[in-house]
Structure 1
Amino acid sequence: MARTEPALADLVAAARAGDRRATARLLTVVENNTAAAPELSRLVKGGDAQIVGITGSPGVGKSTLVSALIAAWREQGLRVGVLAVDPSSPFTGGAILGDRVRMADHALDPGVYIRSIATRGHLGGLTATTTAGVRLLEGLGFDTVIVETVGVGQAEVEIASLADTTLLLLAPGMGDGIQAVKAGVVEIADVYVVNKADRPGADGTVRDLKAMMSLVRREPGEWRQPVCTTVASERKGIDDLVAAIGKHRDWLSEGDRLALKRRQRAAAEIRARVDADLRRRYRVTDALAEAVANGETDVASAARSVLGDTG
């Protein structure tokens, strides 16, 4: 460990100075939860990055919008990190879509770091290590960290517990306006974005969203989600979207809202780590599963035996 610590410290220093290879190596430590991960956590602490989550159905233009947002924040002189979650290849386990080509304009910018990460079978639109990755980038001095989820359905809402501000992208012509009334993902959004707004039906999608929101009762001072329209491929509407994200950040900063959200995120991360450790510690054997399947014992008794509960 004496030899490992200086190496990690050197990587951290290089990553904070903008070395993307060093950042990549540190994220690999986090993603694979290697033996160096605890020491890395001690070396990289703090940070006050704005965490922006971007979610929506496949094909609504999430990656293109991310690219446009990166450009806008870079014009403000902000350092931007992106964790883009892709489905896993069934053969290699790696990220399968490779749609980071839509962010190729930023490939040589030292103020931008983009990482594709595979879900590895994890549900919810994220990965099991996304939160740790966000915490690392925040500690390395990034001003804004964008988390782009894998294309999600109605129940994949983990992003809300991770991001400070969650954007939900919809597109006209995909039925999203009607789905918005019932989809669980809509309930988590802080800002609605109707992308590809130059297409027919965009106005109808906006109307559907506003009609839906008019049915929701809000107490005085509660956040009311704005509806932004964008054509991300042409960077239209991006300035208004950046302003809406900033207003939500300002609203969170009033009172204890942002601190509460960060505490909730930390608690969720702790619970996830405890769950993972418990699953590793208390393994269900094939013999025990077979005993339950054959009716030799019941599920509750089997669970108690796994936990070592003899009472």
Structure 2
Amino acid sequence: MISADTTPPLTAVDKGRVTLLYHFVRLQMPAVKVSEPTFLTHLDRTFRIFIPKAPGPVSWAAYLEGLYAVDWLVCVGCLTGQNGAWEVLFNARTGRSDCLLVDALRARAVRLYPRDEERQDTAVTEFWGNLIAPDSAGTLPVLARYDGQRPLAPWLIRVFQNWHLSKLRQSGGTTALPDDEIALPMDTPRADGADRWHETFIAAAREWLGSLTDDERLLLGLRWRYRLSQREAAKLFDLNEGTLTRRTDKLRDRALEHIGGKLVAEGWAGDDLEGFVLTELGSLLTDDPRLSADHLGRLLAARGKSLPAG
């Protein structure tokens, strides 16, 4: 069994992938300069961060497939003190409002500490400092905890949120209301028993995603992550809109049948099963590496197509 202190050995194929990844990120982010030995050291480090989070044994191939490579490089660049990486992070945009990361953090702080401008400013300033400096002895800086398996900016917002919610709970504070314009809305308290259904849903949804073909994942990703219209997606698949609509409907029906069936088998007796499934599915699709921009890009490239602009 692989522990968090070790990683599986790189096969010859894995070594080839790692080499390609190194040259790919150098081309994508020339402002961030990382030597190959440093690149390999950090790749091994972040893989070790990810291993304890994985539900089962994980290979290098699986880890690399889910890696948000450019975000990962920006994180490494910040940890190694490169101004180019910090500029990219400062200018990162996130959320449906396409706001700067720092503005998203400030907006979150406003929701966490209403009518307390000093605390709002302090919260953001302290968080920026803790990106590369631990907040207490024996802990890691925030960026040193990033495993590369989620987009960096939304992940930082979630860490900021959880950090301050923890402080509020310890001091008897209350959770602020979510703001729909922020990339990741705050978690709302779950009713009694809701955690059980959430966990059942997650397991069933991941099982369903694992059963999809590459074409089905590509369709799901284009419609969900990129919000393409039926017409735009049909062009990428070289299909007419009617055919694509039928495929989309079948995907939706299969999701409801598979995931809903698992919930019912576990004893679900609530109302609006369809609404629950479709609502919960959103966050899972956003986070699943099989629907990451990198993975969708590879699937499109295999068709001789390119990712949608923006």
Q: Give the TM-score normalised by structure 1.
A: 0.27
Q: Give the TM-score normalised by structure 2.
A: 0.27
Greater strand share, 1 or 2? 1
Greater helix share, 1 or 2? 2
